[in-house]
Amino acid sequence: MRTYTRRTVDLFLVLALGAATAGALAGCGGGPRAGSHPAHASEARAREVAEAWDGSDAARVWRTGYHPVGDLVQLPDHAFRSDADKRAYGSGTFVLEGELPDAPREPGRVEWENGDSLTLPVLGARRAYEQVARGGDEEPHLTVTGARLGEMTVATTRGPATVPAWLFTLKGYDTPLRRVALDSSKTPGPPIGAAGEVPTDQLAPLHGLVGTARDGRSVTVTAGHGSCDDGPAVDVLETKGSVVLSGYVKGTDDGPCTSDLRLQAVTVKLDRPLGDRLLLDAFTGRPVTTDERKGEAQKGS
């Protein structure tokens, strides 16, 4: 069944991300290139988005903010000690034993390797904990016994940065689980609106950034598809100032099917490292940002 996507996707989420840590290409065969499917209109749209952002006020604002593109969680050394613990982390099954600190009154500092810095409010440990844990005391689970404020290094659109992080003590582990203690900077309003009504086999919105390879030569995003197709794919258009991703659905079926939305990790290879180029969604016209809740827990599955 050929479906259409408007500015919002009114579909029921039935499947979370697959195992993104493996870096497997989910249906994109080594990184699809722009124009690899019949919907040439998607390439034209990608160019419109790239041109709108190039030199715009929104791009200048974006480049002065804190926008992570890597893992927001750093696992304990030698994690995990068992497959059960790995499954518990992947499902977000944690038990809290003890109190967690409130947010400090003083702001936290983001410090980049080139000497640039930025101050932002620090999240309370409870809020950071809830970004990783969904709760539940079923087995298997991980047990958090406390937390203290420390720091960690995270990949951002401006390069690696040292940021405040909550260091959660896990029962049975000698080193903590670290989680970034900051929210990203506010995303500026885009210089171009979202695409109108368009078939999903030509263009569809992406659902978040999972992560960027250490060498910057590939990015992994979540893309949606339905129950009567061959899965999602993502084309890429690279320019000097941006990388525009165009999601679409392959092999749509005209037969009857349900209207559920399934999310899948798709890794896209780039011709050169992402660097400080903007990562943009051709459908929405907006930057592709880290899914701060779903992206992390699913990486441990």
Is the per-residue pLDDT at 296 higher than 60? Answer: no
Mean residue pLDDT of the chain comes to 82
> CA 296 → CA 129, 174, 252, distances in Å?
12, 21, 30
Structure tokens at 70: 């890597």
**pLDDT per residue over 192-225, tens digit each?**
999 988 887 889 899 889 888 989 999 999 988 7
How far is 51 from 56, CA to CA, in rounded Å? Answer: 9
The count of residues in the chain is: 301
Is the per-residue pLDDT at 6 higher than 80? Answer: no
Residue 87: the pLDDT is 93
> How sure is the predictor about 129, in pLDDT bands with cuts at 50, 70 and 90?
very high
Residue 111: the pLDDT is 98
Residue 196: the pLDDT is 84
Residue 199: the pLDDT is 82
